[in-house]
Amino acid sequence: MAGRTKKAQISVYLESDIMDMLAHYAAQRDQSMSLIAQAAIASFLSPDSAERQEAALARRLGQIDRRLARLERDLGISTEAFATFIRFWLATTPALPEPAAQAARAKLSERYAAYTTALGRRLAKGPQLRQEIVEDVSQLEGDGGRRS
């Protein structure tokens, strides 16, 4: 066994929960606790550990930034869809004469309850508007711009 150097021995005092975690981790990996501790110490003392941590943080911040961009896009789609609906509704719905308007107001709570129930079911299980838009655009592009 030429070229093998003798390792130095140290005594380290660990809290019992840290020792349990070390033993569990070593058993899972089928490695000695000494080898796991050596690797952990080497990683902690390596000059590039700060750079690795910074790179990991940069990756995580990049993921968060992309998620925020998607949320901003989805909110924009929702706002535009709602505004388009309101404009269309206001442009196409004539004002009701007063007796009909009173009857409509009387049905308001029943219709609103049905609307919120339907919205709740859609949010719980149905495809979301942003998914439908992507699917519609893909179908239009696949059909050469024709609607079926």
Look-up of token digits 């919120």? 116
**Residue 115 pLDDT level (bands cut at 50, 70, 90):** confident
pLDDT of 148 strictly over 70:
no
Write the Ramachandran bin of 96: left for phi over 0, alpha for psi from -120 to 50, otherwise beta.
Answer: beta
Query: Cβ(70)–Cβ(78) under 8 Å?
Result: no
40-91 pLDDT tens trace:
888 888 777 778 888 889 999 999 999 999 999 989 988 898 999 998 988 8
Whole-prediction pTM: 0.43
Query: Cβ(57)–Cβ(47) under 8 Å?
Result: no
Query: Which of 12-21, 34-43, 104-113 reaches the highest mean pLDDT?
Result: 12-21
In terms of C-beta density within 10 A (0-12 exposed, 13-18 middle, 19 or more buried), how is residue 47 classed? exposed
Query: Cβ(29)–Cβ(36) under 8 Å?
Result: yes
